[in-house]
C-alpha cells in the first residue's frame, strides 16, 4: 500500500480543509513542533482504511476524530496497492444528542491512469470509479482485499505507531510469540482443530443415520427386481388383450348412444310440440284496443274545448286594463288623503311652536334685564367695598392722631381728632357684595335656562316649517299624478272585475290541465293495449320460430286469433307422427344395451383371470395396472440402488470420521503451532539479519536463542550481545531491520496476500545522541535508496529532518493545523 493523496476536514486538529500530496514523495518526513499534528496525519491514513487508530484504543474512540466543537469530520485517502489505485472515504458526524457515529464510508477502485489532481475540480463521488464498499460494514473485507493486511498487521508492517517501534525487539519471548500468533493468524489452526472435532462428531451422526436407513431397506435386492419385472410383463399382456376387445364394446356403446339420442330427440320434439298453446286473452285484446282508442278521441276533444275557453278568458283579461297601473292610482289616492291629514297636523304643530317660541323670547328678554340689574348692583358693591377699605384705613389712623401733632399722612398739624367708628365699614360692604354676587349668579342661571328654551323652541319651529314644506311638495306631486284619473270607487270596481276574470282564467287553466292529464292517461291505456297486442305477436313469433326446424305453416298477420288456431292444429298433427316413431326407437335402445352387456362380459373375464377388477373403464384399469407394476419395479430398483449408494456413503463417513479425529488429535497438542512459530521466527531473524548487515555496513548480524534476540558484532570477533545493550542508533537499526523483515516475511507466512510498498515510522528520535542520530539518518537513506518502497518518518529533530529530501511542515494555530510541503 502506497499513499498518494490525503484530504482532511474537521479531523481532530485539522479543522479546516487540508490536502497532502504524496505522489512523488519516495522519502519524506513529517516535521513540526510537538503537538502540532504530525502523528495525526498517520492517524488519518489508518482511520480512512480501518476506521480506528492505535492510540485511540480501538473503534470505540471514534469520538476523537472530530475537531473540538465540530459536528462532522471527513477523511479521504487515495492510495496504490499492487498496481491498482483506490480511494477510501470516511465521514464521522455528531448528532443532536452528542453521539458520534460513522455517517458514510466507502472504497472505490479508480480507473487506470486516473489523475489525482482532478479531485481539486470538485468531481462527483460517482466519477471516482467502481464502488467496492458503500457502508461501514462493507469496508473491512474490501480494504483487506485491496491492501492485503488486516488492521493489526498494517500497524506492525506499514504504519509503525509512536512508541511501539522497538517493542517487538525488546519484548519478552512469550509476548513476542503472541504477537507472531496474532500477526500470522495462527489462531486459525485452533479453529481448524475445533472444526475437525465437529466434523468427526458429524461423521459419526451421519454414519448412524445411514445405518438406520439401511436397516429399513430389507428385500431391496436383485431377486425383488426380477419378480417386479415379471409382474410388469403380465400386466402389459393383460392390457394388450383388453385393447383387442374394447373396440367391440365401444361399437356397442355407440349404437346405444345413437338409439338413446334418437329417443331423446323424439321425446324433446313431443314435449316442444305439446307446449304450443294459444294465450287465453287473445280474443279480448282487440276489443280492449278499440275501447281505449275511443276514450282517447273523447279526451282529445275535451282538451281542445278547455284550451279554447282558456284562450278566450286570457283575451278578455288583457283588454280589461293594467292591474298594476290601477293599483298604483288607487295607492296614490290613499297617499294623498294621508298627506293632507299630515299637512293639517303639521300646521297645528307649527302654530304651537310659534307661540311657544314667542313666549320663550319674552321670558329671555326679562331674564336679560334682571341679569343686567344684578350685574350693576354687584359693580356698585365692588365700589362700596373699595370705599369701605379706605374708610377703615382712615379710622385706623385716628387712633394715632393727637391734637396739635403733625398728621402722618399730610404732615399738617391736627386741629381736631375725629371719633373712631364703632363698626368696620369693610365688613358691612363685604356682606352687601356677597348678596349682590349671589343675586347675579341666580340671574345668570335663569338667563341660561331662558336662552336654552328659546333655542329649543326655535329649532322645533324650524323643523315643523320644513316638514310643512315637504308635505306641500309631495301633495303637489300627487295632484299632478292624479290629474285626469278616475276616482277611488271607480278604480276599485275595475280591480274587482280584473280579479274575477283572473279567477275564471285560473279555473279554465285547471280544466285544461285536468283534460290534458286525462288525455295522457287514456293515451297510455291505448299504448298499453297496443303493446300487449305487439307482445302477443312477439310471443307467437317466438313460439313459431322455435318450431322452425319442423317447418310450420305461414301465419295470417291481420288476425292474431286465426294465426294461433292454425299453429296449434299443425302442432297436434306433427306430434301424432312422432309418437309412432318413438315406439320403434325404444325397441332399438333395448337391443343395443344387450350387445353392450355381452362385450363387457368378455372383458370382465380377462380381468378376473388376472385377479383384478375391470372397473368402469377397462382400458384405464389395464393402464393403471401396468403403471402400478412399473411403479413397483421402479421403487424396488430405487431401493436397491439406494442401498448400494448408502453403503458407499457409509464407507465415506467412516473414512471422514477417522481423518477428522486424527487431525483433531494432532492439532489438539500445541506442537504444531509451536513448530510453525519456530519456523516463522527463524525466517524472520534470517531476513532481519540480512537487512541489518546492509544497514550496519556488515557490522551486525541478528540471531535468536530460546526466544531471546542477540546481535553478533563482526567487528569485535563475532561477539554476541543482548539487544538491550545496543545504543540508540544500534537499537534503531535492529528494530528497523526486524520491522522490514516482518513486513517482507508476513505476506508469505500469513494467510493474507499483502502489498507492502511503504513503511512509515512514527518515532520522535529526540532521545538519540548525535552519533546515533547520524546512524539512523544513514540507515533511512540506505533504505530509501533501495527504491522498493516509500519511506516516511515523523520527527521534530531538525538535524534528522534536514537530511530527508521531502518534508511536510505541520503548524498549528489557535484554530487549525496546516501542512506545507518543502524541499
**Buried/exposed 775-810: b ≥16 CB within 10 Å, e otherwise:** bbbbbbebbbeeeebbbbbbbbbeebbeebeebbbb
**Mean pLDDT computed over 490-510:** 76
DSSP character at residue 670: S
In this predicted model, what pLDDT tens digit does every residue of 375-400 receive, in sequence order?
888 888 888 888 878 777 777 777 77
How far, in Å, CA of 475 to CA of 469, rounded?
10
- What's the mean pLDDT when you consider all of the chain? 81
More confident residue, 792 or 562: 792
Residue 58: what pLDDT? Answer: 65
In this predicted model, what pLDDT tens digit does every residue of 782-806 receive, in sequence order?
878 877 788 998 988 888 888 999 9
User: What DSSP string runs through 356-423?
Assistant: HHHHHHHHHHHHHHHHHHHHHHHHHHHHHHHHHHHHHHHHHHHTT--TTSBPTTT-PBPS--PPPPSS
Residue 184: what pLDDT? Answer: 64
Residue 511: what pLDDT? Answer: 84
Q: In this structure, is the dihedral angle defined by the CA atoms of residues 455, 461, 462 and 464, taken in order, positive or negative?
A: positive
Q: Quickly tell me which residue has 354687584 as its cell.
A: 378
**Mean pLDDT computed over 329-354:** 81
Residue 59: what pLDDT? Answer: 62
Residue 811: what pLDDT? Answer: 93
Residue 203: what pLDDT? Answer: 79
**Residue 702 backbone dihedrals phi, psi, to 5 degrees:** -115, 130
Share of the chain above pLDDT 70, in %: 91
Q: Which pLDDT band holds residue 764 (cuts at 50, 70, 90)? A: low
- Answer yes or no: is pLDDT of 76 > 90: yes
Taking the model in full, what pTM does it have?
A: 0.44
In this predicted model, what pLDDT tens digit does every residue of 401-441 receive, in sequence order?
778 788 877 778 878 877 767 677 777 778 888 888 888 88
How far, in Å, CA of 201 to CA of 561, rounded?
102
**Residue 704 backbone dihedrals phi, psi, to 5 degrees:** -140, 150
Share of the chain above pLDDT 90, in %: 11
- Answer yes or no: is pLDDT of 535 > 90: no
**Mean pLDDT computed over 445-454:** 87
Residue 132: what pLDDT? Answer: 94
**Mean pLDDT computed over 175-180:** 70
More confident residue, 17 or 228: 17
- Answer yes or no: is pLDDT of 79 > 90: yes
More confident residue, 290 or 183: 290
> Which of 750, 778, 340, 290 is CA-nearest to residue 533?
290
In this predicted model, what pLDDT tens digit does every residue of 547-560 receive, in sequence order?
787 788 887 777 77
Residue 453: what pLDDT? Answer: 87
715 C-beta neighbours (distance < 10 Å), count? 11
- Answer yes or no: is pLDDT of 612 > 60: yes
In this predicted model, what pLDDT tens digit does every residue of 252-297 receive, in sequence order?
778 888 888 888 887 888 888 787 777 777 767 777 777 888 888 8
Q: Which pLDDT band holds residue 816 (cuts at 50, 70, 90)? A: very high
- Answer yes or no: is pLDDT of 747 > 60: no
Identify the top-confidence range among 134-138, 332-336, 631-635, 731-735.
134-138
Residue 121: what pLDDT? Answer: 62
Residue 746: what pLDDT? Answer: 59
Amino acid at each position: 500500500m502506497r499513499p498518494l493523496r490525503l484530504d482532511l476536514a474537521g479531523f481532530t486538529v485539522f479543522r479546516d480543509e487540508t490536502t497532502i500530496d504524496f505522489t512523488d514523495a519516495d522519502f519524506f518526513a513529517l516535521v513540526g513542533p510537538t503537538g502540532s499534528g504530525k502523528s495525526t496525519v498517520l492517524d488519518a491514513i489508518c482511520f480512512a482504511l480501518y476506521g480506528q487508530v492505535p492510540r485511540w484504543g480501538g473503534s470505540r474512540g471514534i469520538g476523537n476524530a472530530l475537531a473540538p466543537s465540530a459536528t462532522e469530520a471527513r477523511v479521504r485517502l487515495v492510495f496504490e496497492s499492487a498496481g491498482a489505485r483506490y480511494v477510501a472515504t470516511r465521514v464521522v458526524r455528531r448528532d443532536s444528542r452528542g453521539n458520534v457515529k460513522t455517517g458514510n464510508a466507502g472504497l472505490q477502485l479508480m480507473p487506470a491512469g486516473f489523475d489525482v489532481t482532478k479531485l481539486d475540480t470538485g468531481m462527483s463521488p460517482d466519477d471516482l470509479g467502481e464502488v467496492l464498499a458503500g457502508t461501514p460494514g462493507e469496508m473491512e473485507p474490501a480494504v483487506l482485499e485491496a491492501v492485503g493486511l488486516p488492521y493489526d498487521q498494517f500497524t506492525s508492517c506499514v504504519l509503525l505507531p509512536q512508541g511501539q517501534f522497538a517493542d517487538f525487539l525488546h519484548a519478552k519471548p512469550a509476548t513476542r510469540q503472541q504477537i507472531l500468533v496474532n500477526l500470522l493468524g495462527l489462531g486459525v489452526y485452533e479453529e481448524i482443530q475445533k472444526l475437525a472435532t465437529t466434523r468427526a462428531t458429524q461423521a459419526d451422526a451421519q454414519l448412524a443415520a445411514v445405518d438406520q436407513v439401511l436397516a429399513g431397506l430389507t428385500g431391496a435386492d436383485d431377486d425383488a427386481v426380477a419378480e417386479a419385472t415379471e409382474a410388469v410383463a403380465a400386466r402389459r399382456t393383460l392390457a394388450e388383450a383388453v385393447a383387442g376387445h374394447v373396440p367391440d364394446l365401444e361399437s356397442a356403446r355407440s349404437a346405444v348412444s345413437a338409439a338413446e339420442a334418437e329417443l331423446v330427440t323424439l321425446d324433446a320434439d313431443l314435449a316442444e310440440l305439446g307446449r304450443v298453446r294459444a294465450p287465453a286473452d287473445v280474443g279480448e285484446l282487440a276489443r280492449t284496443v278499440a275501447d281505449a282508442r275511443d276514450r282517447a278521441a273523447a279526451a282529445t276533444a275535451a282538451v281542445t274545448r278547455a284550451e279554447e275557453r282558456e284562450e278566450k278568458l286570457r283575451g278578455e283579461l288583457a283588454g280589461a286594463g293594467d292591474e298594476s297601473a290601477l293599483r298604483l292610482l288607487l295607492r296614490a289616492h290613499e297617499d294623498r288623503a294621508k298627506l293632507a291629514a299630515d299637512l293639517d297636523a303639521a300646521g297645528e304643530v307649527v302654530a304651537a311652536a310659534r307661540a311657544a317660541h314667542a313666549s320663550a323670547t319674552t321670558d329671555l328678554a326679562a331674564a336679560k334685564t334682571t341679569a343686567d340689574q344684578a350685574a350693576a348692583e354687584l359693580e356698585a358693591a365692588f365700589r362700596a367695598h373699595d370705599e369701605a377699605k379706605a374708610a377703615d384705613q382712615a379710622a385706623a389712623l385716628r387712633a394715632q392722631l393727637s391734637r396739635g401733632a403733625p398728621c402722618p399722612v399730610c404732615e399738617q398739624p391736627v386741629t381736631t381728632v375725629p371719633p373712631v367708628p364703632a363698626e368696620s365699614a369693610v365688613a358691612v360692604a363685604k356682606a352687601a357684595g356677597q348678596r349682590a354676587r349671589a343675586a347675579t349668579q341666580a340671574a345668570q342661571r335663569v338667563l341660561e335656562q331662558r336662552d336654552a328654551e328659546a333655542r329649543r323652541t326655535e329649532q322645533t319651529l324650524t323643523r315643523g316649517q320644513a316638514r310643512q314644506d315637504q308635505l306641500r311638495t309631495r301633495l303637489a306631486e300627487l295632484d299632478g299624478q292624479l290629474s285626469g284619473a278616475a276616482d277611488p270607487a271607480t278604480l276599485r270596481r275595475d280591480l274587482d272585475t280584473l280579479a274575477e276574470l283572473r279567477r275564471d282564467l285560473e279555473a279554465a287553466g285547471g280544466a285544461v290541465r285536468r283534460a290534458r292529464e286525462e288525455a295522457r292517461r287514456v293515451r297510455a291505456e291505448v299504448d298499453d293495449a297496443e303493446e300487449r297486442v305487439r307482445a302477443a305477436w312477439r310471443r307467437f313469433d317466438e313460439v313459431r320460430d322455435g318450431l322452425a326446424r319442423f317447418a310450420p305453416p305461414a301465419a295470417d298477420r291481420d288476425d292474431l286469433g286465426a294465426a294461433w288456431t292454425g299453429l296449434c292444429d299443425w302442432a297436434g298433427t306433427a306430434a301424432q307422427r312422432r309418437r309412432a316413431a318413438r315406439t320403434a326407437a325404444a325397441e332399438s335402445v333395448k337391443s343395443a344395451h344387450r350387445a353392450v352387456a355381452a362385450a363387457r362380459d368378455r372383458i370382465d373375464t380377462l380381468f378376473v383371470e388376472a385377479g383384478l377388477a375391470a372397473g368402469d373403464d377397462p382400458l384405464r384399469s389395464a393402464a393403471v395396472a401396468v403403471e402400478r407394476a412399473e411403479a413397483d419395479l421402479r421403487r424396488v430398483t430405487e431401493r436397491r440402488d439406494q442401498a448400494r449408494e448408502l453403503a458407499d456413503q457409509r464407507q465415506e463417513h467412516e473414512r471422514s470420521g477417522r481423518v477428522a479425529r486424527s487431525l483433531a488429535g494432532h492439532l489438539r497438542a500445541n506442537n504444531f503451532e509451536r513448530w510453525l512459530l519456530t519456523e516463522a521466527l527463524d525466517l524472520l531473524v534470517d531476513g532481519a539479519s540480512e537487512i541489518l548487515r546492509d544497514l550496519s555496513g556488515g557490522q551486525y548480524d541478528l540471531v535468536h536463542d530460546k526466544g531471546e534476540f542477540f546481535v553478533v558484532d563482526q567487528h569485535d570477533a563475532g561477539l554476541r550481545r543482548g539487544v538491550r545493550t545496543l545504543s540508540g542508533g544500534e537499537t534503531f537499526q535492529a528494530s528497523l531491520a526486524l520491522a522490514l523483515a516482518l513486513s517482507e516475511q508476513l505476506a508469505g507466512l500469513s494467510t493474507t496476500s499483502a502489498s507492502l510498498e511503504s513503511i512509515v515510522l512514527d518515532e520522535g528520535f529526540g532521545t538519540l545522541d548525535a552519533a546515533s542520530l547520524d546512524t539512523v539518518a544513514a540507515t533511512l537513506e540506505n533504505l530509501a535508496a533501495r527504491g522498493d518502497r516509500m519511506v516516511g518518518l515523523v520527527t521534530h529533530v531538525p538535524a534528522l529532518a534536514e537530511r530527508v529530501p521531502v518534508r511536510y511542515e505541520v503548524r498549528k494555530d489557535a484554530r487549525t493545523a496546516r501542512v506545507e510541503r518543502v524541499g
